[in-house]
A and B are shown apart, each in its own frame.
Chain A
Amino acid sequence: MSIVSDSATMMKRELMIFRSNIVQNIVRSIMFPFILLLIFSNLGNTVAHVPVAVVNYANNQQSFKLINALEAQNELSIDAITSQASAFSMFKSGSVDMVIVILPSFPSLHSGDPSVDIYYTNSQFTSLSVLPFIESAAERFGASVGGSGGSATGSLSGSSTTLGSLGSGSGSGAADPPSGSVAAVPAFAASGNYTTFLVAGVIIMVAAFNAMFGGGMSIITDRISGALKLFMISPINRLSIVFGKILAGSTTAMLTVTLTVLIGMLFGAGIAMGLVGVLWIFLLAFIASIGMGGLAAAFAARIKRFEVYAIATQTIILPLWFVAGAFFPVSSLPSWLQPLSAVDPFTYAVQGMRYVMMSGYYPLGAMALDLGVLALFAVVMLAICVRMFKNTIE
């Protein structure tokens, strides 16, 4: 018999146990995301230092005043005042979340003329909340503010093709600035809000917790009860015991993820990509939870007691979660933590989910990076877990 069918046997056993306590398990799966979302989505999300690039075509007194006024705002930090091409390449690479283009006509009294264009990405909820600051500053310095955002949206954003040109043509969209006075232009078709931003973080949290408390925990309970010994003396492949448990943990995590998405939508989160986005969320969460399951099983291979296991896993999982930017954008982390977020696999899962939920567009490069990192994480964790488990058997 192959390791595949043996793993399936083991997985079936875990799922049967899960099903036998289904009510309790569902209540647990609901409570956790519910409470997290209830608490955190109601926290005042103060935003600081959204990175911004400014392109100044006006080069007049008024425009300098505007830039000074913007710099004085705590909510955003002007990283560069530069050419349009380099501003957009910064935007594209993610080093700024927003590009403010002050057009030659600034300050214009003609309400039909564009004088300031703002390009922003919605993959960070922060951009939306700083828009009012910029708009009011621009108005103060004489920019006409008109309701021509609609036409702006039509010209630059609203579809992923625009972004594609933004991405590949190194600013062909930028060469053709939209019209409008202060035109806030979401560069990606999106309706981002903080709840959506948060839900992505919570999904990865519940997936990870489920994987940890599914697979690893059951290894420990089975060892204490003696069931593990019975599995080991049966002719099934020994590794299939742990693989089956990890798979079952990740599968039940998907139920929790589904519930979290539903609860998130009740709280007002959206999924910009729609149903395809849901599939992406499942894929990202599944791979991440396989990795977490492997990590948990590696711990469980050595740790004999519940208490120690719970402490050890939480010590790992909570920092991973925070550093991944689950609550706040990674850019708001202290600088010494930012490198950690780059090596945190959760960062990539959360990032991917925000693309599909907030931007509605998942750039190929980001997709490859996110999936690649998560897959590598899963493979490495499984390898470590196999090694640890093999050692403990002897």
Chain B
Amino acid sequence: MKNIIEIKGLVKKFGDFAAVDDIDLEIEEGEIFGILGPNGAGKTTTINLILGLLKSTSGSIRIDGIDNTKHLEQIKNMIGFMTQETVVESDLTAVQNLTLFCNLYHVKNDEVDGRVKEALREANLEEVANAKAGTFSGGMQRRLSLVRSMMHTPKILILDEPTTGLDVQNRFEMWDRIRDLRNKGMTIIMTTQYLEEADALCDRIAIIDHGKIKAEGTPSELKAMIGKGNVLEIVSDTANAPKIAKVLESKFKLKVELKNEKLSAVLNSGDIKTFNRIVDEMSRDGYRIFAISMHLPTLDDVFIKLTGTSLRDSLGENVSTMSRARMMGRR
């Protein structure tokens, strides 16, 4: 597979602040590539740079071999984009919405009707073709938004949080649509704040934090970074957590990661007996335990390990300098 997007040494500074700090990325043709990161990590800036909405401070982005600051029209025609908020023209009908985007992308007049029809069929909106988009449900609007972003038959589709705000049923439907598109040969770049979504959907994932890429790989590769076994997780309070960590390290020879009141450690795969003994130990000594669990490694574990925060509550939390230094070493 050839690389359809090649990003080299990409830097974008706003004043002194580097929102994107020396990123290298290669995205293969026909894959679903996920970009994950806490709020303010640089995901949106990276996407805006790819879209050409921002000019990079340094570094280059090549799309299908073409520098994205040159041959703008050609580049723009290769990329489709669906915004995070559903931006349909709510005062216009579905047909008007789609026709408008054909015109914006200079689709030849005699092709417009055919494409609009096809898109309506694709999005399952034929029956409401002439109703105002503002009257549609959230799922319908999102489907309209998706087909609308492809009126010019782009090679690359960029989806910014494509399922945020959708209910479970619509989310699964959206997943199917995205997979379908990939199977038809479309390259898809998506950001998401749902790790299970990235896990289920993406062929490869890059985790971004503080403008840098912390890790990159398939979901299984990333999970393997945690270790081969199951993850033990204990939630206590800040006073007890260090004590528990000590016990786990001395008695059970576990390598414990401690983050405030949360402890995690990797158990050998399927080691239910060790887990039982830990539970016994904890209850015997009367530690304050709020939660204790054992599960397979998830992307969330990877995410916490790499960024020091869980994705959902990342806002405003800081990563301790220690774990950051360790991360740098690993890269």
Q: Which of A20, A225, A233 contacts B53 (CB 8 A)?
A: A233
A169 at the B interface (CB under 8 A): no
B83 touches A17 (CB 8 A): no
Contacts of B103-120 to chain A: CB distance below 8 A = 103-106
- Identify which of B71-79, B136-144, B164-172 touches chain A: B71-79
A16 at the B interface (CB under 8 A): yes
B51 at the A interface (CB under 8 A): yes
Determine the chain B residues whose CB is within 8 A of the CB of A110 once the complex forms.
none
How many B residues are at the interface, by size bracket? 20 to 34
A266 at the B interface (CB under 8 A): no
A11-46 toward B: CB 8 Å interface, digit per residue (1/0)? 011001100110000000000000000000000000
Determine the chain B residues whose CB is within 8 A of the CB of A17 once the complex forms.
89, 91-92
Which of B76, B81, B103 has the most chain A CB atoms closer than 10 A to its own CB?
B103
B121 at the A interface (CB under 8 A): no
Determine the chain B residues whose CB is within 8 A of the CB of A13 once the complex forms.
89, 92, 100
Determine the chain B residues whose CB is within 8 A of the CB of A334 once the complex forms.
none
B85 at the A interface (CB under 8 A): yes
Determine the chain B residues whose CB is within 8 A of the CB of A231 once the complex forms.
104
B104 touches A234 (CB 8 A): yes
Residue of B nearest to A393 (CB): B53
- Per the bound structure, the CA–CA distance linking A17 and B51 in Å amounts to 27
A234 touches B101 (CB 8 A): yes
A1 touches B106 (CB 8 A): yes
- Per the bound structure, the CA–CA distance linking A394 and B72 in Å amounts to 15
A229 at the B interface (CB under 8 A): yes
Q: How far is the CB of A285 from chain B (nearest CB, A)?
A: 26
Contacts of A194-233 to chain B: CB distance below 8 A = 225-227, 229-233
Q: How far is the CB of A389 from chain B (nearest CB, A)?
A: 14
How many cross-chain pairs have Cβ atoms below 8 Å apart between A and B? 57
B218 at the A interface (CB under 8 A): no
- Per the bound structure, the CA–CA distance linking A226 and B72 in Å amounts to 21
Residue of A nearest to B74 (CB): A235
Residue of B nearest to A241 (CB): B104
Determine the chain A residues whose CB is within 8 A of the CB of B76 once the complex forms.
233-235
A229 touches B104 (CB 8 A): no
* In the complex with contacts A9-B100, A20-B132, A394-B55, A235-B92 CB distance below 8 A: no
Q: Which of A12, A226, A394 contacts B85 (CB 8 A)?
A: A226
Q: How far is the CB of B40 from chain A (nearest CB, A)?
A: 19
Q: How far is the CB of A220 from chain B (nearest CB, A)?
A: 15
Determine the chain B residues whose CB is within 8 A of the CB of A227 once the complex forms.
87, 89
- Per the bound structure, the CA–CA distance linking A68 and B302 in Å amounts to 99
Contacts of B55-92 to chain A: CB distance below 8 A = 55, 72-73, 76-77, 79, 81, 83-85, 87, 89, 91-92
- Per the bound structure, the CA–CA distance linking A152 and B100 in Å amounts to 63
B52 at the A interface (CB under 8 A): yes
B268 at the A interface (CB under 8 A): no
B91 touches A21 (CB 8 A): yes
B77 touches A235 (CB 8 A): yes
Residue of A nearest to B81 (CB): A233
A170-203 toward B: CB 8 Å interface, digit per residue (1/0)? 0000000000000000000000000000000000
B96 at the A interface (CB under 8 A): yes
Residue of B nearest to A17 (CB): B91
A-B contact list, 20 entries, CB within 8 Å: A1-B106, A9-B103, A9-B104, A12-B100, A16-B91, A17-B91, A17-B92, A225-B85, A226-B85, A227-B87, A229-B87, A230-B83, A230-B87, A232-B53, A233-B52, A233-B79, A234-B101, A235-B77, A235-B104, A235-B106
- Using CB atoms and an 8 Å cutoff, list the residues of chain A in contact with chain B: 1, 9, 12-13, 16-17, 20-21, 225-227, 229-236, 394
| A-B residue pairs, 6 tightest by C-beta | A234-B104, A235-B76, A226-B87, A20-B91, A9-B103, A235-B73
- Using CB atoms and an 8 Å cutoff, list the residues of chain B in contact with chain A: 51-53, 55, 72-73, 76-77, 79, 81, 83-85, 87, 89, 91-92, 96, 100-101, 103-106, 132
